[in-house]
Amino acid sequence: MPITPPTNDELRALVSAQLRQYGIDISVLPEGGPGLPGSDPTTGVPTQYSLISSCVSLITASVTFIAGYKVDAGYKQGVQEHPPVLYPAPFSEWTK
């Protein structure tokens, strides 16, 4: 059975479930939705929809970047090496 990437609706459900699991209550934010402003015009608070959409965008961009990483044939990863990440920690430059 081939692996199919999750749909945006499935990713939105995943993000919502993870936020609830971490104890983050986004129900205090305005609901929002597609075609509506991404934040409350009077307070500037992001909507639930824009928050979840941002998390989904982060997941899809990061996974694509890391999944596309290829190494040369015969390469063995050293113990001190770090896996490829989109935004490496600043101290990783100090350890080169």
Per-residue pLDDT tens for 8-30?
899 999 999 999 999 999 999 98
- Give the CA count within 13 Å in the CB-facing half-sphere of 37: 10
Q: Which residues contact 53 (CB under 8 A, 6 or more apart)?
A: 12
DSSP secondary structure string for all residues of 1-45: ----PPPHHHHHHHHHHHHHHTT--GGGS----TTS-SB-TTT-P
Q: Is the pLDDT of residue 37 over 90?
A: no
Q: Is the pLDDT of residue 95 over 70?
A: no
Instruction: Report phi then psi at 78, rounded to 5.
Output: -80, 160
Looking at residue 59, its pLDDT comes to: 87
Pairwise CA distance, residues 50 & 35, whole Å? 11
